[in-house]
Structure formats: C-alpha cells, structure tokens
Amino acid sequence: MDSQMMTGNLAAAWGARLADVDYIPAFPITPQTEIVEALAKWCAGGELAARFVTMDSEHSMMTAAGAAEATGARVFTATSSQGLLYAFEVLYSISGWRAPLVLVNVSRALAAPITLESDHNDVLAARDSGFLQIHAETCQEVLDSILMAYRIAEDERVMLPVIVNLDGFSLSFTREPVRIPDPEQVRTFLPPFHPAHLGFRASVPHSLGVAVIGGTPYAYFRHQMHLASINALEVHREVAASFEQLFGRRYDVVEGYRLDDAEDVLVMTNSCAGTGKAAVDAARGEGKRVGLLRLRMIRPWPADAIRGALRGRRAVAVLDQNLAPGQGGILFQEIAASLYHEATRPRALCSFIGGLGGQNLSVGELRAIFEQTAKAGVSGKGIGPVLLYTQAEHREMTQLQMVAAGSVKRET
C-alpha cells in the first residue's frame, strides 16, 4: 500500500482504529483534539466498532478508560499537558489495576505561563506512574508504536498501560508520508483482547484497587509492577521482531544514528531528534566524528541499550526538552546514573536544556553543542546544565518587555 500524507494526530487515530479498540473516552485539549475528532467520526460512521464517550474532564476520562479496560475492553484515549496533569492520580490507579490501555500524549509545555507548544515536562512528569512510555519521532512511528504498545501492554508478562508520546505542533500538526498497515496483517500481529486476569462478571467476582493495611502488601504489589515493567524490555524485543517481519519497519528501544565511529554522542528524544540528525550530518560533513542516540522507550528505562551505545565514547551531551527547575534536565540525570558503573564511561557528560515550549533549536545552537561537548571530552570536565538561549531570542524578548512596559509600540 502506498503512503498517504497525514498529521501525527491522524496517524495516532489510525493506530487506534487499526488496533480495533472497543472504547474511547475522550476530552478535547489542544494540540490533541484532532485525534478524538477523527475517532468520533469513524465511530459514528461505522468504520470503527468502538463506543465513543465525551467525558466531563480528563480526570473522569482516565477513570472511565481504566475502569473499562479493567472490565475487559480494549481502550484507547488521548490527552496533552494540563489534561495529563489533571488526570494524574488516575494514572497511578490504572497501572495499579494492571489495566493495559494505551494513552497517546501530545506533548505540550505546562502552565504557567500558559502555552500550546511543545516540550516534555508533561509526559516526563508521568515517568514514575507505572505507565510504560514510548516516544515517537515521526508520524509513521506514532501509528506503528500504538500497535506495538497494545501488543506489549497486553502481554501476560507485562499487563501495564502505555503512553505513546508525540510532540505537539512539530508532529501533531505536521503532515508526513505514512503507510497504513493492512488491517488483516494487524490482526495477525495484534490478536483480539481476551485478558485472563481482568474483568467483572457475575460468575467470577473480582475486587480491584482494594485497600491494603501496612507496607508489606503495598510493597509486594509495587514490586510486581516494577518487575513487570522490566519484563517489557524483553517483550519489546520480541514485538519489534514480529513487527519488522510483518511490516518491514524496525523499532528498537533506542535508535542509534551514525554511531559506529562516533567519538561524541548527542542524546535526544521525539521529533526534534530529526533536527539533531541533520546537525550530525552537517558536523560529519566538517569531518567531526559525532553521532546521535534517540531514546525511544523511556519506561522501562533501557539501561543496557543506553550503556551499549554510550560506553567508550569521548563525550556525551544530553539535550533535554524539559526543565526540572533547581536541578536541570530530567533525562540527563538518568543517563548519568546509567553510566556510573561503566568502566569505559565517557570522559565527560554535558547537559543542555533547549526547545522549551516550542522554542526553536537552531543550526548554530546544535553546532555549539557539538563544539562544547568535544571540548569537554578533551578536558574531561562535563558542563551544564546549559540553558540554550540565543542572542536573537534575547533581542526578541527585550523587544517584548519594552512593549509590555509601554515604552515602544509593537512593530506591525
């Protein structure tokens, strides 16, 4: 089948449609809304045999989603940013219920100040919720990752929910060529959902989410979740092989780009990794031995794959599109922790913070990152967190402040 031009949002909706989901509780939020609009249309038109319900909030939406999944339906839903945080406590309930639904998050920076554009503080806030997380770079990967997500989530060794993340605007509203897999082949890849350990029925009563008294049972169930999450690394390997065999596209927990002989490696996630890859190509053109490591699976944390890709390098830079105020980049900390025990760990680790709230990542900034990382590799002294902010951005901000102060009129 030839590819079609479609947005990341429409690709996400196609993922849910091909997964033949049963139930879609929804609530609109920019930049996610196009996903549920497409699904509502298909449910109304009969292209998708699912029940679509508009809920009263994301908190209710996630509760209904988890409850329906716990009853035995295959559930899909989507949100973004403030919506994800509004539903936050429910995320922990759903993973505790071991209800393997798929939630698409369209990344959008968090208020205040309020904005619609992307960074990853929303989805990374959910990194300890028990949801697995897959972060996509392209529209095709969004669709494919949703199909893989259901296979992984519903595996008896896992039984945990998954967040598939795509960037707001830069992916959600960007059209790219996407191949829509053949529904028959998808059915082979993803059989119908018949959970062995979920469901409420008259003949088999079931209590879920019950209280525990004391730390012993609490720790027992929490440990189970951790071990199941770790199992998802092996399950991902199997699922990726099966997916490649059927559809010819390969996805691993991390993606290496021009890593073979790279001295220095830049670590990125999501759609801006495309910008990073272009910067690698440009630097390679100048004779620099650099490469890029894109983290695709964030939970469970693919520590072995990361170590394998980064051990023996001269220097590693992590470009975080998030900011933990008072600390720095979230992924930088996790990368650093993973490398600590490596005998041949990189001589320097550098932390850069950029692309916040849709902030541009310029060619010049990426060149500067490579230069500073190389220098750190030579000196053996890491740097950061470096808050990326160009002179042009500074000029723009100064202009805005003067307008706010009433001292100049905005150029029209």
Partner 1 sequence: MWQRETFKKIKQVPGEEHVLPGSALCAGCGGLESLRLAAKVLGDDVVYVNAAGCFTMLAAYPYTSFKGSWLYTTMGSAPAGAQGVRDALDLLIAKGRLPKHENLKVVVLGGDGSTYDMALSSTSGAMNRGLDFYYICYDNEAYGNTGMQLSPATPYGARTATSPCGLQHPSGASQEKKDIFEIWRAHKPPYIATVAPRYPLDLEEKFARAAAFTGPKMVLALAACPTGWLYDPGETPEVAKLAVETGLWPLKEAINGVLTHTYVPKRKPVEAYLKLQGRFRHLFEPTMQTEAIQHIQARVDAYWERATREGS
Q: Are 70 and 208 in contact (CB under 8 A)?
A: yes
Binding string, residues 84-123; x marks residues near partner 1 by CB under 8 A: -----xx--x---x--------------------------
State how far the Cα of 88 lies from the Cα of 222, in Å rounded to an integer.
18
Is there binding between residue 370 and partner 1 (CB under 8 A)? no
Is there binding between residue 59 and partner 1 (CB under 8 A)? yes
State how far the Cα of 69 lies from the Cα of 171, in Å rounded to an integer.
28
Binding residue (CB under 8 A) for partner 1 from 29, 64, 273, 316: 64
Our CB check for partner 1 shows the closer of 71 and 95 to be: 71
State how far the Cα of 233 lies from the Cα of 230, in Å rounded to an integer.
6
Binding residue (CB under 8 A) for partner 1 from 2, 56, 260, 411: 56
Binding residue (CB under 8 A) for partner 1 from 60, 82, 115, 362: 60
Name the minimum Å distance from CB 71 to partner 1: 4
State whether residue 99 is helix, strand or coil: coil
- The pair of structure tokens assigned to 412 is 């029209």
Name the minimum Å distance from CB 100 to partner 1: 14
Binding residue (CB under 8 A) for partner 1 from 114, 212, 337, 402: 212
Q: How far apart are the first and last CA of the chain?
A: 48
State whether residue 6 is helix, strand or coil: strand
> At 161, phi and psi to the nearest 5?
-75, 160
Is there binding between residue 67 and partner 1 (CB under 8 A)? yes
State how far the Cα of 154 lies from the Cα of 132, in Å rounded to an integer.
12
Name the minimum Å distance from CB 66 to partner 1: 7
The interface with partner 1 within residues 5-24 (CB under 8 A) comprises 22-23
- The pair of structure tokens assigned to 220 is 């027992």
> How many residues interact with partner 1 (rule CB under 8 A)?
45
Is there binding between residue 197 and partner 1 (CB under 8 A)? no
State how far the Cα of 162 lies from the Cα of 154, in Å rounded to an integer.
10
Is there binding between residue 310 and partner 1 (CB under 8 A)? no
Buried b (16+ CB within 10 A) or exposed e, 244-253: eeebeeebeb
Is there binding between residue 66 and partner 1 (CB under 8 A)? yes
**Which residues sit at the interface with partner 1, rule CB under 8 A?**
22-23, 25, 49-51, 53, 55-57, 59-61, 63-73, 75, 89-90, 93, 97, 194, 199-203, 205-213, 217
